Structure 1
Amino acid sequence: MFTKNFFKTLGPGILFASTAIGVSHLVQSTRAGAEYGFALIGFILAANLFKWPSFEFGTRYAAATGRSLIDGYQKLNPVYSFLYLLINLLSMFFVNAAVTFVAAGFLQNLLGISIAPTYYYLPTLVLFLFSFVFLALGRYSLLDSGIKVIGTFMLVTTLAAFAIALFNGPEVPLVYQPIRQLVTAKSIPFIIALMGWMPSAIDSSTWNSLWTIERTRQTGYKPSIREAVGEFNLGFWTSATLSLCFVVLGAFLLFGTGNSLPDNNVGFATGIVNLYATNLGKWTFPIIAGAGFTIMLGTCIGVMDGYARSTARVVSVIRSRPESKRAYLFWLSLIAVGGFLVIGVFFQSFNQLIGIATTISFLVAPIIAILNYRLIFSTHLEESQKPKALMKWLAMAGIAFLTLFSLGMIYVSWL
């Protein structure tokens, strides 16, 4: 995997990891550990394992063909392009709102400021504007460089907090409790929301393919399938490992203590940073506060770029016209405005906003997983470019897994 051209390939996998390690890890994984101890680790491991093929296929398809998954959907059937556009339009405002809302809470905590309810919109407005300007001016080049810096700091600080927590041990001795006592009908919606973004929404697999193509354009080096997939897997499994770190942090510092995390963005950010700092040592406050904000900032930038880039691409594919340079800026603007308006609606319902965003992602996951599977095992790729039989079987198992839980969520929520 680590060839002499590794650093020319390095980028899309790190970008994926930085985008993934946001709400699903910092918010949902920490809450899972805090409320259920280690009872949900199996669900987290399953989500990572069964989603892995769909994400890997995005990188594989781009490296093999030089085209994005979105172009592949069009080749399968133009109807799939319209379906993907619909999925993007349904999810992009909620998802961007959710990650920016969380990031705003961590920004206020980091700066030690309190915003009056009348001006609640200011931190989110600042973050939307920053992300927009960052991407509008720098496009992929600045995104690639910035995420590598953010990702490095995020990795170091998260592992430092995890190591300190392990050294100090749990606040309350962890006593084994049967999973049936912790996982009940009331907890199913949270479990499904947890897996919806663990490690990320499957529709973001198209972003991997687009980022792989952009990285090739940036460096002028076309990586082999093995190099591109190896780089992606490094980012993916780093993200998966860190999800378990956050579960441990939540379990060690909150589970069984009688304390809980507040249901608002600032309260959650303040609660989690103060909790970590109090239990790990006050000297760790800058580390925890900085890690929380940089994690969410990287997610904000990556998610906004992913949705704008993928939506601009699918529209150009549907119209059978070259992608306009202004299209990317148009979708960036629309996403920022739409996400900001969604926050205005869900300002008092932090958990509800997170739940809606993650649930939408989970419901569309089987559709994207099936499309990605069809692309990889169709005639578009040569036999030598396709993954081994084990990955094929894992992909089919993943489709069954995602479909089963999506149907379960529909049953629990609406029937």
Structure 2
Amino acid sequence: MGSKLSHFSKTAGPGILFACTAIGVSHLIQSTRAGADFGLMILGFVVLATVLKYPFFEFGSRYANSTQTSIIDGYKKLGKPALWMYFIITICSMFFVTGAVGFVTAGFFENLFGIDFLEEFTVVILFAICVGILAVGKYNVLDSLIKIIAIVLLVSTVSAFLLALYNGPIEEVSGFAPKELWNLTGIFFLLALMGWMPAPLDLSSWNSLWTLERSKQTSYRPKLKETLLEFRLAYLITGILAVMFVVLGTFIFYGSGEELPNSNSSFAHKVVTLYTQTIGEWSYVVIAASAFSVMFGTIIALFDGYSRSLQRTVELIFSKKEEAIRTKFKTFYVIFLIVLSVGSLIVIFQFAGNLKELVDFATVLSFVVAPVIAIFNFRLVTGKYLPKESQPSTLLRILSFAGIVFLSGFAIFFLAMKFLS
């Protein structure tokens, strides 16, 4: 028993990083909005997206453990066009995704510390802190910090959920009319919700990189079942928390007649205030601190994930020998941290004052490109690139086919609806 716990502690890290990255905008913002606008009827879509996207996230961990290389290395094996396509998808989405998460995080930062005079400069300070932490400490600091944030997140969310259940849903105000889901606006939000539920699909490549980095950090190479167990536990918790946030949004907002603001700091204040009205005024600081912790965990993991994946992609595209990579590209991680922060700030300044539009644009963009990543990941773990004993089960293959059909169908439907409307 002792050795199993020791091995698990050495394996644990990538799954926790995944969970903290996922439980940011998708849960705290989108799931809360979903419950607030549509009530519990939206819950089925949250569960469906979480289940059908599971295989493609797991394949990142599976491939990394089995080959001791990242799944980005695998994309190169599929051919240079596949690697270039991943690179283009990453470049096209990273500024919008990081901008959306950074904008939201800045709002919760301002709300927690009562800062309202810095305006857009809050996010500049926040990005500078993230870049500084990662440039100096890289994975070691990220791994330690994220585990503290994960504990705060888990305790605060479960506590808020149980208290909301105890207090029951709010009474609907007179004349309340629920929003319509099956119109253009409702469907657009549904796609935005599922685009990041529980996370953008390209995050699967980060999980493979974090798996390798954790193994390097602990000098322990876990068995495949150990890596998968750690990821599955984290994914399960991510899914359960998504359900909790939808229920919280429903119990606290649905029927209140309250409209969530479109400014980041006002949105953060409104979310925290309405939570505390249900749970108790005593909890304001706790909820505010927990919400900021959730968002900070997400934004710092995004900075690391995008910079780490870009560095590896550039290494594979522009260098043929692994020895040359170690000397030629070792400073690229910090360069990409800076490029990402500057590009994301430009996006934020363009969307300033329109939080919902920025978040919805970023999440829908992630949904549209998701089928490409899903197909790449599936090909890598079911073909000649993995030994038979490391390949997924028949059940997981069937779930993968269903996931590809689901993601492709909705993406095509959205594009057709967008161009025909």
Tell me the TM-score range normalised by the shorter chain. Answer: over 0.9
Matched, 1:315 2:317: no
C-alpha contact 2:37 2:179 (8 A) present in aligned 1: no
Question: Could you tell me the TM-score, scaled by structure 2's length?
Answer: 0.95
Shift of 1:185: 3.3
Q: Aligned ranges for residues 51-200 of structure 1 at < 5 Å?
A: 51-115=53-117, 119-172=118-171, 182-200=181-199
C-alpha contact 1:13 1:232 (8 A) present in aligned 2: yes
Deviates further, 1-10 or 314-323 = 1-10
Question: Could you tell me the TM-score, scaled by structure 1's length?
Answer: 0.96
Match of 1:374 among 371, 376, 379: 379
One-letter amino acid of the structure 1 residue matched with residue 417 of structure 2: V
Distance of 2:179 and 2:229 partners within structure 1: 38
Shift of 1:4: 4.0
Match of 1:336 among 330, 341, 347: 341
Distance of 1:142 and 1:7 partners within structure 2: 17
Q: Give aligned pairs, total.
A: 409
Q: Aligned ranges for residues 341-352 of structure 1 at < 5 Å?
A: 341-352=346-357
One-letter amino acid of the structure 2 residue matched with residue 234 of structure 1: L
Matched, 1:396 2:401: yes
CA offsets 1:294-346 (integer angstroms, 9 cap, x no match) = 00000000011100000110010011251522010110010001111111100
Q: What runs of 5+ residues in structure 1 fail to find an aligned partner?
A: none
Shift of 1:121: 1.6
C-alpha contact 2:371 2:407 (8 A) present in aligned 1: yes
Distance of 1:76 and 1:338 partners within structure 2: 30
C-alpha contact 1:39 1:182 (8 A) present in aligned 2: no
C-alpha contact 2:61 2:227 (8 A) present in aligned 1: yes
Tell me the equivalent position of 1:220. 219
Distance 1:263 1:181, change over 3 A: closer
Match of 2:364 among 350, 359, 363: 359
Shift of 1:408: 1.3
C-alpha contact 2:161 2:244 (8 A) present in aligned 1: yes
Distance of 1:193 and 1:69 partners within structure 2: 26
CA offsets 1:326-382 (integer angstroms, 9 cap, x no match) = 010110010001111111100021111101111110011000000000000111111
Q: Percent identity?
A: 45
Distance of 1:186 and 1:341 partners within structure 2: 27
C-alpha contact 2:35 2:254 (8 A) present in aligned 1: yes
One-letter amino acid of the structure 2 residue matched with residue 6 of structure 1: F
Matched, 1:405 2:410: yes
Tell me the equivalent position of 1:385. 390
C-alpha contact 2:172 2:254 (8 A) present in aligned 1: no
Distance of 1:9 and 1:183 partners within structure 2: 44
One-letter amino acid of the structure 2 residue matched with residue 102 of structure 1: V
CA offsets 1:211-270 (integer angstroms, 9 cap, x no match) = 000000000000111000110111111111101111111100111111121111111100
Tell me the equivalent position of 1:203. 202
Distance of 2:392 and 2:192 partners within structure 1: 30
One-letter amino acid of the structure 1 residue matched with residue 24 of structure 2: G
Shift of 1:132: 0.3
Shift of 1:181: 5.5
CA offsets 1:151-191 (integer angstroms, 9 cap, x no match) = 111111111111110110001269xx9x9964433300000
Shift of 1:409: 1.1
Matched, 1:231 2:244: no
C-alpha contact 1:172 1:252 (8 A) present in aligned 2: no
CA offsets 1:59-110 (integer angstroms, 9 cap, x no match) = 0000000010100000111111110110010011111111010000001110
Tell me the equivalent position of 2:35. 33
One-letter amino acid of the structure 2 residue matched with residue 141 of structure 1: N
C-alpha contact 2:172 2:256 (8 A) present in aligned 1: no
Tell me the equivalent position of 1:303. 302
Counterpart secondary structure, 1:209: helix
C-alpha contact 1:312 1:327 (8 A) present in aligned 2: yes
One-letter amino acid of the structure 2 residue matched with residue 322 of structure 1: I
One-letter amino acid of the structure 2 residue matched with residue 171 of structure 1: I
Distance of 2:228 and 2:58 partners within structure 1: 7
One-letter amino acid of the structure 1 residue matched with residue 87 of structure 2: L
